[in-house]
Structure 1
Amino acid sequence: MLLVQFITESQERRIGILHDNTIRVVNGYATTLALARAAIAAGAGLAQLADAAAGSEHYHYDDLAASGRILAPLDHPDPAHCYVTGTGLTHLGSADTRDAMHKKIGGDVDSLSDSMKMFRMGVEGGKPAPGSAGVQPEWFYKGDGSIVRASGQDIEMPDFALDGGEEPEIAGLYLIGDDGQPYRLGYAIGNEFSDHVTERQNYLYLAHSKLRNCGLGPALLVGELPSHVSGTSRILDREGRVRWEKAFVSGEQNMSHSIENLEYHHFKYGLFKRPGDVHVHFFGTATLSFADGVSVQAGESFEVASPQFGPALRNRLAVGATGFAKVKAL
């Protein structure tokens, strides 16, 4: 099942089930968050509750997208209660990429860079037996709910950034129950978006490079993630022509870590089990236009598409002026 959040012409929020180009409205719930809270309270599955509440009212997805009324598939009314985080060095990539990566991480561990050591650790211990903890992945904080951009909205990089590049990924979407239990609502495609030039200067700049906007959605895939997910990442120029295009793969079949292991190492921290909070957690990628020497310019657009997730995620790149604040002493 695919769920979509949107706004009506009268500026009312709705959630609906997407099938092809038709969104069937789920009655009684204005948001994914409200539907998820009700599902937890009822001890029911999200898809079960949505299907039971779906009525005859419907909208056409293309019409909503054309008028800019598609929302991110999960949000919180207070953006400070939405954590956006992620893990890196988790994906094996294509067959050619896998072969090259295994050659890089072979041999003497002491001769490897820190990144290659981390990748090797994941290959060797990222998929433990169910119920067991495997090796920790690389982890980063990206921001709160204020950085999330829905399909059709601009992704803005600050004017001090050295680069604005896409990262086509799958994100897990979660709600923390009143008892502190994390509940996974499902998954969405995303553009994690980072400053790769800053990161390349020194890997200790990774934290700086990740404090950027991200794209998410447009649909929430309810249920388990397929073991193999395929998609296409594109860069479109200002006239809408494809400037760069590459296939990407995800899902556990293409990863060095299991989803369960990535979730364990995120939610093991009490900070991330605060009742009522929402989490968007990116699982990583192995496909970047930056790796092919592409520098995306303001006015150009990103497109991340995978048939398992319905419509493509599309965002234009913009540059925002930085309001540097001089600190005042009290």
Structure 2
Amino acid sequence: MSYLRLLQHLSADGVRSVILAEGEAAHFLPGVASVRELALGAIASGHTLAEAAKAAGQGEAVDIAAEFAAGRLLAPIDHEDGAHLLLAGTGLTHLGSAEGRDKMHKAAEAGEHVTDSMRMFLEGLEGGKPAAGEIGQQPEWFYKGDGSQLVGPTDDLAMPSFAKDGGEEPELAGIYLIGEDGTPYRLGLALANEFSDHVTERHNYLWLAHSKLRQAALGAELLLGTPPSHIEGTCKILRGGETIWEKPFLSGEGNMSHSFDNLEHHHFKYDLFRRPGDVHVHFFGTATLSFADGVQTEEGDVFQISAAPFTLPVANRLVRAQERAVSVKAL
């Protein structure tokens, strides 16, 4: 089955445009500069995003693999004012996701001690997929930042100068736009590297909030329509062009302990997350981490994540940001 995908493109002379892809075929959408612009029009006209994209007409054909290789594809969503784009996510949402976290947070004491992480995972396993019309167990939730923290599919991922680690998290992200009446609209799903500091988190799980205040990368393709319930991909780390770690990962609702509906309810139940015009990128979690296998990443490593039905990977190089002195002055 081929899925419709939307991509954002930036030409060598700085002109933005949107691409519609289906299977191996892709073309520019005439007169459309951003996915957010297209989605706002779809909401206003009462059409789906796929219908709006098809109605925009067919421009010049384009080879998206070649544009990816040339670094001309952007993240598939953004906002002209980065303060109106929110990055957030939920953890312990996938079957098997508790194992790696539990290893990090396990108390030194012997016996049958159950960590907070394992307890939260078990609660989600029991109540994360409620029946239609019911509200399920709320998940772990975290904040990552605003639009300034979002990078594209081939951009560098910069860990702060003070970071203890820069580690990949291969997963799916839901992309949302808030309508003028405060209704959240899911535009589609993107492949993502949520990117965290697992050494900081391991020191004390109450530092999870600190470990998540990092950049995040999105793959170039926004997958439209109903996504498959089973998504299987591969995550690898390249060092000097050689693969030093590689592992498959699973996602999609069939491999999760929470439904998308439940995760979305517990995010958008807060009024402040339903501000008209805002964009939300919500990371749905993962069960696969190189850190859990004892890998210590290094500057220059490249994280490469791929998964069908996405046809392009997200591939980002790890760098460390320059140290900046922070001084607070009394006024």
TM-score, length-scaled by structure 1: 0.93
Q: CA deviation at 1:19?
A: 3.7
Q: CA deviation at 1:132?
A: 1.4
Q: CA deviation at 1:20?
A: 4.8
Q: Which amino acid in 1 is paired with 2:135?
A: A
2:36 pairs, out of 26, 33, 38, with 33
Once structures 1 and 2 are overlaid, which stretch shifts more, 262-271 or 145-154? 145-154
State how far apart, in whole Å, the 2-side matches of 1:252 and 1:310 are. 20
Q: CA deviation at 1:255?
A: 0.6
**Among the aligned pairs, what percent are the same residue?**
55
Does the CA contact (< 8 Å) of 2:30 and 2:59 recur in 1?
no
- How many aligned positions are there? 320
1:204 pairs, out of 184, 203, 206, with 206
State how far apart, in whole Å, the 2-side matches of 1:67 and 1:245 are. 25
Q: 2:329 maps to which residue? A: 328
User: Where in structure 2 are the equivalents of 1:242-281 lying within 5 Å?
Assistant: 242-281=243-282
State how far apart, in whole Å, the 2-side matches of 1:324 and 1:196 are. 24
Does the CA contact (< 8 Å) of 1:21 and 1:62 recur in 2?
no
Say if 2:73 is the partner of 1:70.
Answer: yes
Q: 2:156 maps to which residue? A: 154
1:7 pairs, out of 7, 10, 16, with 10
State how far apart, in whole Å, the 2-side matches of 1:144 and 1:21 are. 33
Say if 2:90 is the partner of 1:84.
Answer: no
Q: Which amino acid in 1 is paired with 2:143?
A: Y
State how far apart, in whole Å, the 2-side matches of 1:67 and 1:73 are. 16
Q: CA deviation at 1:49?
A: 1.1
Q: CA deviation at 1:325?
A: 1.6
Q: Which amino acid in 2 is paired with 1:168?
A: P
Once structures 1 and 2 are overlaid, which stretch shifts more, 146-155 or 63-72? 63-72
State how far apart, in whole Å, the 2-side matches of 1:299 and 1:271 are. 38
Structure 2 residue runs of 5 or longer lacking an equivalent are 107-111
User: Where in structure 2 are the equivalents of 1:1-330 lying within 5 Å?
Assistant: 1-20=4-23, 22-93=25-96, 111-238=113-240, 240-330=241-331
Q: CA deviation at 1:66?
A: 2.7
Give the 3-state SS of the residue equivalent to 1:15 in structure 2. strand
Task: Give the alignment's Cα RMSD to 1 decimal.
Answer: 1.9
State how far apart, in whole Å, the 2-side matches of 1:20 and 1:181 are. 31
Q: Which amino acid in 1 is paired with 2:191?
A: I
State how far apart, in whole Å, the 2-side matches of 1:21 and 1:315 are. 24
State how far apart, in whole Å, the 1-side matches of 2:211 and 2:57 are. 42
Q: CA deviation at 1:312?
A: 0.5
State how far apart, in whole Å, the 1-side matches of 2:282 and 2:267 are. 9
Does the CA contact (< 8 Å) of 2:29 and 2:59 recur in 1?
no
State how far apart, in whole Å, the 1-side matches of 2:278 and 2:96 are. 32
Deviations 1:192-221 (A, max 9, x none): 000000000000000000001111021000
State how far apart, in whole Å, the 2-side matches of 1:20 and 1:237 are. 31
Does the CA contact (< 8 Å) of 1:24 and 1:54 recur in 2?
no
Q: CA deviation at 1:23?
A: 2.9
Give the 3-state SS of the residue equivalent to 2:265 in structure 1. helix
Deviations 1:30-77 (A, max 9, x none): 100000000000100101110121314122223322332110000000
Give the 3-state SS of the residue equivalent to 1:217 in structure 2. strand
Deviations 1:199-245 (A, max 9, x none): 0000000000000111102100011221111000010112x221110
Q: Which amino acid in 1 is paired with 2:275?
A: R
Q: CA deviation at 1:29?
A: 1.4
TM-score, length-scaled by structure 2: 0.93
Q: CA deviation at 1:22?
A: 4.5
Q: Which amino acid in 1 is paired with 2:136?
A: G
Give the 3-state SS of the residue equivalent to 2:309 in structure 1. helix
Q: Which amino acid in 2 is paired with 1:266?
A: H
State how far apart, in whole Å, the 2-side matches of 1:20 and 1:324 are. 49
Deviations 1:134-154 (A, max 9, x none): 011000000001111111100
